[in-house]
Amino acid sequence: MAEAWIYTEDGEFGGELARELAELGYSPRRIRANGSLLPGADQGTLPRRPDLLVVAAGAGGPAPEALMARLRDHEDLGEVPLVAAVDPEHLSCALSLGDAHELLVRPFAPGELEARVRRVRRDVNGVEDEGVVRVGSLEVNVATYQVSIAGEPVSFAYMEYELLKFLITHPRRVFSRESLLSAVWGYDYYGGARTVDVHVRRVRAKLGSEHAARIKTVRSVGYRFEL
């Protein structure tokens, strides 16, 4: 299930967003905006890269610009879709920064939240409205965990799929093996970097001659996905 992190000091606002995101199929996780940047881990360690970030600034709470800037500058979170959900009093500071990919002003309807989340995931990660990422004849459905090539289903083991999904939704960026271990397997995984190489080989084999070469090896660094 896709995971959404909600940064807020406003418990009511955070609860409202968590309920609506859960109805959209996300696993919401509320994080205090003035606490550690990352939940359940030391400041510099990413427990698991989320699929969506939401910074919620309610009435009487702190302005969100510093937090949004920190999230955008974070090495592992900089390319995660970020939505700022604010009360009108925080609108001017949210607009002036450009750190958020999408902006919601309270009050907003659940349908507007759904539309903004779909748009930001499409614009940042290439995920279309139906939850599908398409690259040529390759289709990866991030909602149903299905992969097809030219309309024919291709079977992937769970971690093979997770690796492919991560790479295809973060194209052109080079990721080290250590970064991939953290983002795909999680920070508490004790396997070595060879795990990444083995899974890349398996994914390439299943993608076949048409698409295997899209996963490029960057010598002495790691891998990137080319569109």
Q: What is the pLDDT of residue 148?
A: 92
164 contact partners, CB below 8 Å, separation of at least 6: 140, 147, 156, 203, 207
Q: What is the pLDDT of residue 130?
A: 63
What is the gyration radius of the CA atoms in the chain, in angstroms? 18
Element (H, E) at 206: helix 194-211
Please give the C-alpha separations between residue 9 and each of 58, 64, 67, 181, in angstroms, as whole numbers.
Answer: 8, 10, 12, 31
Domains of the chain, earliest start first: 3-125 (3.40.50.2300), 132-225 (1.10.10.10)
Q: What is the pLDDT of residue 169?
A: 83
Q: What is the pLDDT of residue 88?
A: 77
CA 88-115-165 angle, to 5 degrees, is: 120
Cis peptide before 47 (omega within 30 of 0): no
Is the Cβ–Cβ distance between 162 and 196 less than 8 Å?
no
- Measured over the CA atoms of residue 155, residue 159, residue 160 and residue 161, the dihedral's sign is positive
Q: What is the pLDDT of residue 205?
A: 95
Is the Cβ–Cβ distance between 6 and 14 less than 8 Å?
yes
pLDDT tens for the chain, residues 1 to 227: 678 888 888 788 888 889 988 988 888 888 877 766 776 554 555 556 788 888 887 766 666 777 877 887 777 777 788 888 887 777 666 555 567 788 888 788 878 888 888 888 777 766 665 678 888 899 998 878 889 999 899 999 999 999 999 898 888 888 888 888 888 887 556 667 788 999 999 999 999 999 999 999 998 889 999 98
- Measured over the CA atoms of residue 176, residue 28, residue 91 and residue 35, the dihedral's sign is negative
As given in the structure block, the two tokens for residue 219 are: 């010598």
Please give the C-alpha separations between residue 97 and each of 31, 92, 103, 126, in angstroms, as whole numbers.
Answer: 22, 9, 11, 23
As given in the structure block, the two tokens for residue 77 are: 């979170």
What's the rounded Cα separation, in Å, for the pair 173 and 21?
28
Is the Cβ–Cβ distance between 170 and 79 less than 8 Å?
yes
CA 126-131-133 angle, to 5 degrees, is: 40
Q: What is the pLDDT of residue 190?
A: 66
Is the Cβ–Cβ distance between 145 and 153 less than 8 Å?
no
